Amino acid sequence: MTRYSFPASPRLLNAALLLATVAAAPALAAAQGAPAKLTADMERRIAAIQPSVVAWRRDFHEHPELSNQEVRTSEVIARHLRKLGMEVQTGVAKTGVIGVLKGGKPGPVVALRADMDALPVVEEVDLPFKSTVKTTFNGQSVGVMHACGHDNHMAILLGVAEVFAGMKADLPGTVKFIFQPAEEGAPVGERGGASVMIEQGVLENPKVDALFGLHVFPFETGKVVYRSGSLMASADTWRMVIRGKQTHGALPWNGVDPIMIASQMITNMQSIISRQTDLTLTPAILTVGYIRGGIRVNIIPDSVELGGTIRTFDEGVRDSIHARFRRLANALATAAGGSMSLEIDKGYAVTSNDPRLTAQMLPSLHRAVGAANVSEGRPTTTAEDFSFYQQKVPGLFFFLGVSPPGTDPLKVYPNHSPRFFADEAALVPGMKALGTLALDFLSAGRVM
């Protein structure tokens, strides 16, 4: 097991960073953005609430829940938002929670989003608040772990919610706090996540003008990585059934071999990426994740099933790959005397940051965590359903580093690993980043 040491009390955590944060507040506020007094007030409140944020994060981590099952999690969140005096809506997209904080001054509406669900993973990190939760997933007994870091997202957003609630009289506009279920995907046979929240009005009443979100990632703790335009890939799943004609393995000429067709399919489908897609425009991936067929060494089976994923960063290229895939698969199966059926399910869209909003808010990120800690990153072929919000309103999504400085790169485990570890020293920079983005946007009044 991976072991990490923790201070006896959350109050002892990251004291040096907090002192530096508070000391830098006047200089940060002096830069372009929200009024200096308002920014300084936010900075002080973030420093004061840090122990509570650490405690929330540990509680969420110790009690993870799978997608569309975030019952306890949503109750904890809703209870605290009501305590802060917000208008609270529950049961959105099954377990989602929305808190609305109306400031004392007129202004726009900004939304901040955190996801709530955990993964069916047995935790292998030795923490005092390690998850020991077990449940059933797809008919199997599984462990449950916040292996993607959503516990950090929720704690950060709850912290910002309490900070802003204390500043309500001076806020120029409205802040909508979105706690979303099922970002990792709804269970089989169910719907969930951002698309359902949108259908149920999360971006309306009041109508959202801009949306911000973050995701912890194994960069160095406190570093912020952003990208204008395409940041994360679209994610589609596909399933193909190739049908031949079953026969004796010693008499292949009496049948049609679907395994042979499948092998040709797997080899030739990569030409869609390497020879038919303009890779100078955007990266693209066509992956085979599984192949199933046959039961005996001397029987050529009647059919073979295979499936996988398609990833890219451009909607036009995405549609082109789908069309070319269907054409190639049908031609190969027909040429060999067989047939095939191909189902392609469009999943998450490209997570694409609005260029105007990104340019407008980049100085805010610099002020929040220091320009030296902000960098433009490369696109990543992971995916996020934050993309659905961005199809409706201007949005900015960024990564927050959670790997302790000096960590051996070989010991940095990625999101979704049973050994994924998030450094709690990133919670304060996370609050500062989201809080500054929201405060500066409210003060600006619109997307410039």
Give me the DSSP letters along 28-86. Answer: HHHSSSS-HHHHHHHHHHHHHHHHHHHHHHHHHHHS---TT--HHHHHHHHHHHHHTT-
Six-digit token pair at 218?
């194994």
CB 347 within 8 A of CB 197: no
CB 114 within 8 A of CB 156: yes
Expressed in percent and rounded to 5, the helix, strand and coil fractions of the chain are 40, 30, 35
Only one residue has tokens 């940060």, namely 28
Collect all residues with Cβ–Cβ distance below 8 Å to 189 and sequence separation of at least 6. Answer: none
Q: Which amino acid is at 299?
A: I
Distance (Å, whole) CA 111 – CA 121:
30
Q: Which amino acid is at 239?
A: R
Cα–Cα distances in Å, from 279 out to 238, 274, 312, 395? 21, 8, 10, 26
Only one residue has tokens 């306890």, namely 72
- Provide the 10 A C-beta neighbour count for residue 47: 20
- Burial label for 264, CB within 10 Å (0-12, 13-18, 19+), is middle
Question: Which ranges of 184-314 does DSSP label H, i.e. alpha helix?
Answer: 194-199, 258-274
Q: What are phi and psi of 115, to 5 degrees?
A: -100, 155
Distance (Å, whole) CA 310 – CA 6:
40
CB 307 within 8 A of CB 237: yes
What are the catalytic residues?
A: 348, 424
